[in-house]
């Protein structure tokens, strides 16, 4: 497993930090802190009934932020439902995240200047899309990369294998980033597969594969940067397995991780917290302090408070709007259902 920073925030012997400026290092950590702070606040909003579906991402900040920091604004992101950190870093507004969580139509509307597909709820359903986009960039000889994020459970889905095989055959400019957080809801990795790693699955497809410490921001950045560089040179796709851990439940829809994880296991991973590790590294370089920490937390909380107030004042979507927004030409059977619903609502 590739690792640059150990759990004490020190550079391992024989390793070298990526070529990042002090400002870039601070920005990366600030974004990780924003996502951690966002996550805590979003969980509270969910419990208050002010947000709907939400999948906590605490523990996976290095995976999401450091990887996206290694890419360009022109690259395309294919996130899943737990990857709002990647989306926000790439430019997806907080307001849109809240609309998405509340199930409103405009929550899936991505701004024109953000190269991103809507978050995918279907497990591994966006992996073939990432492969197809990467193939398009190869055909057009464009300096672009497509990256998809998914969990370890997605590697048990057919779309995962089909996407990787397609991308391999056609030398797609694609990066497949697996956040191995040890559990597919409550199913542990040991019941997902018999292979020792997820990264080694790349061998079967004839593409690059690497297992990286997903709680080490520097290692994640370096692995993703090298994968992107290879893709831009026409050297094919890469499968990255980032070994990490989600601190919270699978989603806020009633999952209780205490029923399938031990306190000892959770403590072991808490000791590997990606934010603690990266902050220790920055502090050793004189780049971070408590004042900066509080400033960033306050900044994201203020942004969230303004966004949720604005979203809560917006009118709720209707069934008719949902149908109209989904189809350009509504199928006859659905048109009939829509008319029946409108009549029922008027009579009610």
Per the confidence metrics, is the pTM higher than 0.85? yes
Average pLDDT, the chain: 96
- Residue with tokens 């966002």, as numbered in its chain: 38
- What's the CATH code of the domain at 118? 3.40.50.970
Question: What order do you get walking across the sheet with 174-180 strand by strand?
Answer: 76-78, 146-151, 174-180, 238-243, 208-213
Task: Read off the tokens for 66.
Answer: 């450091």
19-28 pLDDT, tens digit per residue, is 999 999 999 9
Q: For residues 282 and 342, state if they share a domain.
A: no
Q: For residues 67 and 133, state if they share a domain.
A: yes
pLDDT at 104: 85
pLDDT at 108: 85
Instruction: Answer whether residue 315 shows pLDDT above 90.
Output: no
The DSSP code for 150 is: E
Please check whether residue 332 lies inside any domain of the structure: yes
Please check whether residue 257 lies inside any domain of the structure: yes
Q: For residues 184 and 157, state if they share a domain.
A: yes
Please check whether residue 9 lies inside any domain of the structure: no
Give me the percent of the chain exceeding a pLDDT of 90. Answer: 93
Please check whether residue 295 lies inside any domain of the structure: yes
User: How many domains are there within the chain?
Assistant: 2
Q: For residues 211 and 326, state if they share a domain.
A: no
88-126 pLDDT, tens digit per residue, is 999 999 999 999 999 887 888 899 999 999 999 999 999
Please check whether residue 1 lies inside any domain of the structure: no
Rg (CA), the chain: 21
- With 0-12 CB in 10 A as exposed, 13-18 as middle and 19+ as buried, what is 127? buried
Q: For residues 328 and 248, state if they share a domain.
A: no
Domain ranges, residue 108: 22-317
32-72 pLDDT, tens digit per residue, is 999 999 999 999 999 999 999 999 999 999 999 999 999 99
Q: Write out the catalytic residue numbers.
A: 246, 250, 260
pLDDT at 325: 83
Please check whether residue 13 lies inside any domain of the structure: no
Please check whether residue 53 lies inside any domain of the structure: yes
Regarding beta strands 208-213 and 183-184, do their DSSP bridges make them parallel or antiparallel, or are they unpaired?
unpaired
Residue 246: band (very low, low, confident or very high) from pLDDT cuts 50, 70, 90: very high
Please check whether residue 11 lies inside any domain of the structure: no
Q: For residues 90 and 204, state if they share a domain.
A: yes
161-194 pLDDT, tens digit per residue, is 999 999 999 999 999 999 999 999 999 999 999 9
């Amino acid at each position: 497993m590739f690792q640059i920073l150990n759990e004490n925030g020190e550079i391992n012997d024989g390793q070298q930090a990526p070529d990042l400026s002090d400002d870039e290092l601070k920005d990366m950590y600030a974004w990780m802190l924003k996502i951690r702070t966002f996550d805590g606040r979003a969980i509270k909003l969910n419990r208050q009934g002010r947000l709907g579906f939400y999948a906590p991402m605490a523990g996976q900040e290095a995976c999401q932020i450091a990887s996206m920091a290694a890419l360009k604004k022109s690259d395309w992101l294919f996130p899943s439902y737990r990857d709002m950190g990647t989306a926000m870093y790439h430019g997806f507004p907080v307001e849109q995240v809240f609309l998405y969580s509340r199930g409103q139509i405009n929550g899936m509307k991505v701004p024109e200047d953000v190269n991103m597909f809507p978050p995918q709820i279907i497990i591994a359903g966006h992996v073939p899309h990432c492969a197809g986009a990467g193939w398009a960039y190869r055909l057009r000889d464009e300096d672009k990369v497509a990256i998809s994020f998914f969990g370890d459970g997605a590697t048990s889905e057919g779309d995962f294998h089909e996407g990787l095989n397609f991308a391999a055959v056609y030398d797609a400019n694609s990066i497949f980033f697996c956040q191995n957080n040890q559990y597919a809801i409550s199913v542990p990795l040991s019941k997902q597969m018999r292979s020792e790693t997820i990264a080694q699955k790349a061998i079967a497809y004839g593409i690059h594969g690497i297992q990286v410490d997903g709680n080490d921001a520097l290692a994640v950045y370096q692995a993703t940067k090298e994968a992107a560089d290879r893709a831009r040179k026409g050297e094919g796709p890469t499968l990255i397995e980032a070994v990490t851990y989600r601190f919270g439940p699978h989603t806020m829809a009633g999952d209780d991780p205490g029923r399938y994880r031990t306190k000892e296991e959770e403590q072991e991973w808490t000791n590997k917290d990606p934010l603690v590790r990266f902050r220790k590294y920055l502090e050793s370089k004189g780049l971070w302090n408590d004042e900066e920490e509080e400033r960033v937390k306050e900044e994201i909380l203020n942004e969230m408070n303004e966004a949720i107030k604005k979203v809560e004042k917006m009118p709720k979507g209707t069934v008719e709007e949902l149908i109209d927004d989904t189809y350009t030409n509504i199928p006859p059977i659905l048109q009939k259902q829509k008319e029946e619903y409108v009549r029922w609502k008027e009579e009610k």
